Amino acid sequence: MFKKILIANRGEIACRIIRACREMGIVSLAVYSEADRASLHVQMADEAALIGAPAAADSYLNMDRIIETAHAFGAEAIHPGYGFLAENPEFARRLEKEGIVFIGPNSRALELVGDKIRARQTMEKAGIPIIPGMKHVARSIDEYIAAARKIGYPVMIKASAGGGGKGMRIVCAEEDLRPALEAGSREARAAFGDESIYLEKCIEDPRHVEFQVLADNHGQIVHLFERECSIQRRHQKIVEETPSQALTPELRRKMGETAKKVVAVSGYNNAGTVEFLLDRNKDFYFLEVNARLQVEHPVTELTTGVDLVRQQIRIAAGEKLTLKQDALTQRGHAIECRIYAEDPANNFLPSSGKILYFQEPRGPGVRHDGGIYSGCEVPIYYDPILAKLIVWAETRDSACARMAAALNDYVILGIKTTIPFLKDVICHPKFREGATTTGFIKNHFENWQEEEGTPEGLSLALAVAALDELAPSPKGNKTAGPKTEVYSPWLTLGQWRIGEKP
């Protein structure tokens, strides 16, 4: 087993990985940018190293600096988390050359699944259902027009290097195709440095169902059942759950076996997720492989009892999987809500700044994976995810009730977050029914606003604000704002000089 692991990430996922390291007796090495000196992952880790300026390109994406740091500190392996370098085949290849273990799939498999068109060709050859559409990038607009006619409108434009909804566009009629192709290809070039796009049949209002897979370096593969991630905003998941309301035991078995086959034909190892679209007729299609630890991995952990990060580390160290497919079961129901620093009432505008007060919900069956604390700064440079709230209960109904209560108890003051929006999503009758499709947010939550509070609530809030105005603030300094809230020995000590007599 490794003695030291470098965690090439920040925020909640870095904290999650540090916890796993600590439990396994492995020294954790955090890396951080100049904007993250005070971040939680730096506080939690056993060791920490500065790797550059705030912009991700200068720090968390800086391969040279990260590899140098791993060597300098003697880290034998690197966990990339999600985002940043997690699915970068070049990074995986360089680590292979440097003799550092990449805690993730091998570089060839990463390359294959990262190229959507090549992955489609490989899957089709292996008899795995794919969404009807192009298997090559076209050379001319006419070729796209002909392909779209053959597929039948509506069609979906996708980026070959794709992911995260970038470059994706739905086209309903031929006259809209040309401008959409141009825009899609421009967006793809900006996001991935590769303008290749292709067309697929647009599956209308599908469910997004994905399977968690683990594959060791010795050819053993298991799946850990599904996660339903249909609740999405601009193709980004915001609520995930397991089990899916749409699967029968038979369909679950069939999709699970297909997911394992996808992993096998890709020569894939370590943890991965096979994404499928499920249409109204319960036909499923391979979408893509997410070659990383997923944001939503905790719902699988809570229902299967398997620690996925620990499994990833063990697999990367060359250990054999001890999990057996027949022994794996799903127990109860788990839901995750992603807490973002965004203003849901104002077009989800990013909301950076200082978190003045933070108190996470607690209680039976409530898990909070976070990267924030009272007084921390949320920088403008990175993804707006702050934390994930995950609940487990015996049934879906009780899990929904538990999630609603937990969201209602969740306090983050100082910046806007998606908490009030998520509460309304969880409480929506269609969500409670399990009628979740990828169109859910668009159909039910366009132009969402928080409901008005009660007059009594406002009166009490004003009264507390008034009391606070009267309260003598510490050190009699009323205008210093948040600084007076936290006792800081440095501020007090600041009046002295070293060597001076008290």
Q: Which residues are catalytic?
A: 292
Assess 352 for contact with another protein (CB under 8 A): yes
Can you tell me which of 88, 212, 304, 351 binds another protein, judged by CB under 8 A? 351
Contact between residue 153 and residue 174 where contact means Cβ atoms under 8 Å apart: yes
Assess 450 for contact with another protein (CB under 8 A): yes
- How distant is the alpha carbon of residue 458 from its chain centre? 36
Which amino acid does the sequence have at 93?
R
Q: How many CB atoms lie within 10 A of CB 151?
A: 18
Assess 443 for contact with another protein (CB under 8 A): no
Chain position carrying tokens 């939690």: 44
Instruction: Between 24 and 356, name the residue whose CB sits nearer to another protein.
Output: 356
Assess 58 for contact with another protein (CB under 8 A): no
Instruction: Between 164 and 219, name the residue whose CB sits nearer to another protein.
Output: 164
Assess 349 for contact with another protein (CB under 8 A): yes
Can you tell me which of 224, 302, 341, 425 binds another protein, judged by CB under 8 A? 341
Least distance from another protein to the Cβ atom of residue 480, Å: 9
Which amino acid does the sequence have at 269?
N
Assess 382 for contact with another protein (CB under 8 A): yes
Contact between residue 49 and residue 67 where contact means Cβ atoms under 8 Å apart: no
Assess 498 for contact with another protein (CB under 8 A): no
- The residues, any chain, with a CB within 8 Å of residue 134's CB and separated by 6 or more, are 117, 147, 151, 198, 199, 200
Assess 432 for contact with another protein (CB under 8 A): no
Of residues 240, 224, 377, 239, the one with CA closest to residue 307? 224
Chain position carrying tokens 């971040």: 39
Assess 477 for contact with another protein (CB under 8 A): no
Peptide bond into 243 cis (omega under 30): yes
Assess 457 for contact with another protein (CB under 8 A): yes
Q: Tokens at residue 456, please?
A: 């009594």
Least distance from another protein to the Cβ atom of residue 288, Å: 20
Assess 465 for contact with another protein (CB under 8 A): yes
Strands (E), 153-266: 155-159, 169-171, 197-201, 207-215, 221-233, 236-242
Can you tell me which of 458, 488, 493, 496 binds another protein, judged by CB under 8 A? 458
Assess 377 for contact with another protein (CB under 8 A): no
Least distance from another protein to the Cβ atom of residue 418, Å: 13
390-409 footprint of another protein as x/- string (CB under 8 A): -----------------xxx
Can you tell me which of 72, 170, 172, 460 binds another protein, judged by CB under 8 A? 460
Can you tell me which of 455, 476, 494, 502 binds another protein, judged by CB under 8 A? 455
Where b means 16+ CB within 10 Å and e means fewer, 369-403 reads bbbbebbbbbbebbbbbbbbbbbbbeebeebbbbb
Of residues 130, 129, 181, 179, the one with CA closest to residue 158? 181
Query: What is the DSSP-derived secondary structure letter of residue 132?
Result: S
Of residues 219, 225, 258, the one with CA closest to residue 244? 225
Which range, of 17-25, 197-205, 206-214, 458-466, touches another protein by CB under 8 A? 458-466
Contact between residue 4 and residue 73 where contact means Cβ atoms under 8 Å apart: yes
Which range, of 16-24, 192-200, 297-305, 451-459, touches another protein by CB under 8 A? 451-459
Assess 34 for contact with another protein (CB under 8 A): no
Residues that bind another protein (CB under 8 A): 341, 343, 346, 349-354, 356-357, 359, 380-384, 407-411, 413-414, 419-420, 423, 450, 453, 455-471, 474, 479, 481-482, 484-485
